[in-house]
Chain A
Amino acid sequence: MSTLEKEKELLKGLANNNKDAIEAIYRDNYNLIQSLIVNNNGTEDDARDIFQEALIVLYEKSKTDTFELNCQIRTYLYSVSRRLWLKKLQYARRFESQVELLEETVPVEEDLDVHNKLNQQYGIMRSAMGKIGEPCKSLLEAFYVHHKNMIEIASFFGYTNADNAKNQKYKCLMRLKKLFFAQYKNGN
């Protein structure tokens, strides 16, 4: 398999949240990003955060209908990570040395704008989820994130039947929607 085909396979896997594909991409690129961050005033944890955020950017991009990557995965991840890290350094006013490892970069500003918008919405949902408290959070996540059916949920959370669980889920959902839309309207 040529490199190009292999990369296409990996991206397809990434779009489907395939464990093997993610592992392969992770293994091939993590060390590069780590040395970029650590050599520019960052820590191991910074490196992990930045790399994972870059992967999310790529993941989001790979799921769009018009997805096309015009460079190697490595170059893309490096460019995104570099951009993200520069931003973070500037934000923290630790910006001193120019971030440079002699690696090729591609322009990623537009992709990052899209990502920032999506990330903001994700943040709204996450904070709303954080505010509704337990067991609402787990219950809703079981249904909407992990796609469990109401019978499984009822037995897992100890409700006597599925209707009781549905009732509880409805109350939780109303609270979540209220919180979500309140913040969403504030944010826009």
Chain B
Amino acid sequence: MDQILLLEAVERYLRGEMNDEEKRVFEDMRKSNPELDQMVVEHHFFLEEMDRYGEIKRFKANLYDTHHTLQEIGDIKELNPAGQGKIAYLWNRYRRVVAVAASIAGITALLISGLTVAFSPKAPIRDIEELRRKVTFLEKKTNNQSAQINDVRKKIEPGTPIKFGGTSFLVDSKGYLVTSAHVVQDASKIFVQNNKGADFRATIVYTDLEKDLAILRIEDQDFKSPASLPYSIGRSTTDIAEPIFTLGYPKDEIVYGEGYLSAKTGLKGDTMAYQISISANPGNSGGPVLNKNGEVIGILNARQTTADGVVFAIKSKNIFRVVDELKKKDSSQHIKISTNSALKGMDRVQQVKKIEDCIYMVKVVLN
């Protein structure tokens, strides 16, 4: 009972509920009794914590009530996630749950199929053997086919210059094409074929073997010249590492390839060419090398046989030089080189769709 009275006294003292007389007596007691002093300090701290606890609790209760009141009045509303659909919202929220559920489902499925295999009666062995025989039969067939392909390859000696074709592209919509000089070397007749498979007669207007460039002209009544060319021919040099792409006819159909510019000079420091890294095959010769803005930066002309993936392209400014030389020699040819690209900012698929109509396969009939 003494303890209860004492604690009550401490509480009254701390809350300032004592009168002056009581307070004086209590403070004297506190001075003379360190135990009491300790109790006062401790209880003071405890009451402070208790007050804070009470305060926050009352405040929280108030917030809780306010939330409900406002919700009932309708001043605050439940909000559906804005800007994204309910499904996206649910997906975001439950993604992890879904992932876990899916893994469990996956593991269960594997487990069950494993058990099924383990416990089901062994499949009739004869069936499996039959199947296997079929497979070996198929394998044999495949082997036969590849043997035939090897035969075909052997007919074309490796290293023999392939004279029957290359790629060319329009530089002037009137029907002037540029290709590599070596493609049309020794040709008696030239046909060019567009990507739809139509052939047109063409003649060589000019060749520069040193630059390995040739200008052809389509001389065929069936040829309908396009209004303008989608790409431009670049005059400036391109930087190393710039992404590039090409279109050509290494087979009977137009083929797309992409890569990057690996060096500003060609074979043995040849400043007329670039070294590029792109997959190129016989038939790609004479094809345009374009950058991402749809500018022709070069004409694909060779690959190094002693190294892998090293391809060379003649710099496109040589086209201008060749055309200038041609003008000096033969004033009847008026070639207006396309210098405006309409392909800037387009995605690659759209660019290629526009370009492919201007790329022609060159078919050469030898003497």
Question: A-side interface residues toward B, CB under 8 Å?
Answer: 17, 19, 22-23, 26-27, 30-31, 34-35, 38-39, 41, 43-44, 47-48, 52, 55-56, 59, 94, 96, 118, 121-122, 124-126, 129, 141, 144-146, 166-167, 170, 173, 177, 180-181
Contact = CB atoms under 8 A, between A and B. Distances in A.
A66 to B, nearest CB: 18
B76 A31 contact: yes
Contact of B70 (A27, A56, A94, A146): A27
Contact of B53 (A39, A94, A126): A126
Contacts of B93: 41, 43
5 contacts: A17-B58, A19-B66, A35-B82, A125-B53, A145-B54
A26 B81 contact: no
Interface string B48-87: 0111111111111011111101100001111111111000
Interface stretch (B2-10, B161-169, B222-230): B2-10
A12 to B, nearest CB: 15
A39 B82 contact: yes
B35 to A, nearest CB: 16
Contacts of B70: 23, 26-27, 30
Interface residues of B, number: 40
B137 interface: no
B116 interface: no
- State the main secondary structure of chain A at its contact with B: helix
B92 interface: yes
Contact of A23 (B8, B51, B66, B80): B66
Nearest to B55: A17
A125 B69 CA distance: 29
B75 A27 contact: yes
B72 to A, nearest CB: 12
Question: Can you list the 6 inter-chain pairs with the closest CB atoms, starting with the nearest?
Answer: A145-B54, A125-B53, A170-B4, A30-B76, A52-B63, A144-B50
Given A118-B52, A122-B56, A125-B49, A31 B77 contact: yes
A20 B47 CA distance: 28
Given A31-B76, A121-B49, A144-B50, A39 B62 contact: no
Contact of A180 (B46, B56, B79): B46
Interface string B315-343: 00000000000000000000000000000
B59 A26 contact: no
Contacts of B80: 38
Contacts of A43: 93
B169 to A, nearest CB: 47
Contacts of A167: 4
A56 B60 contact: yes
A118 B93 CA distance: 31
B52 A38 contact: no
Interface in B73-125: 75-84, 92-93, 96
Contacts of A19: 62, 65-66
B141 to A, nearest CB: 53
A52 B63 CA distance: 7
Given A26-B70, A31-B79, A121 B52 contact: yes
B36 to A, nearest CB: 16
Given A145-B57, A167-B4, A173-B7, A26 B49 contact: no
Contacts of B67: 26, 30, 48, 52
A27 B68 CA distance: 11
B63 A55 contact: yes
A73 to B, nearest CB: 15
